[in-house]
Amino acid sequence: MSDRELRPLRSIRITGDGRCLFRSVAYGACLRRGKQSPSDSIQKELADELRSKVADEFVRRRGDTEWFLEGDFESYVRQMRKPHVWGGEPELLMCSHVLRMPITVYMYTKGSDSPRIIAEYGQEYGKDNPICVLYDGYGHYDALQPSLVRTQSRLRGIQITEDYAT
């Protein structure tokens, strides 16, 4: 198990308004840049801005992305520009390119009391200090941030504690 997987992480509850993927990534990008945790209204603004840039990135990378998007490319991008449309793996990949930062996705797996890495994007931008998000398996993403308090659970794996952002 790598050192990255041993860091205690704290779960930050993100509003489930169709923007949760973009909110979670924007939240993580702020922390990674040394900025304060964004408020709910700032998260919304940042998420909508990121979503727009992600849609533009799809268009820029059409030759590389069109084949793995469901349905008609133009329709997909048009839908993705709408603020309440859920994002997924293709959007996470484009987020990493837009931000030029690595993104790591965690998820709880059956029989595990700690989340596991299920996907990593943007490894070409480095592997240290990725933006971390927690996927619930049902379409919702929360932000993850390194815990300020080191605990005994570090020896057992990743500690997740709930924290509800306002």
Tokens of 22: 């973009």
CA–CA separation, 166 and 98 (whole Å): 26
Which residues are part of the catalytic machinery?
17, 20, 140
Which of 35, 29, 24, 85 minimizes the C-alpha distance to 58? 85
Is residue 50 classed as helix, strand or coil in its secondary structure?
Answer: helix
Half-sphere exposure for 11 (CA within 13 Å, toward CB): 20
CA distances 61 to 102, 106, 146, 166, Å, are 18, 26, 32, 35
CA–CA separation, 16 and 140 (whole Å): 7
CA–CA separation, 30 and 20 (whole Å): 15
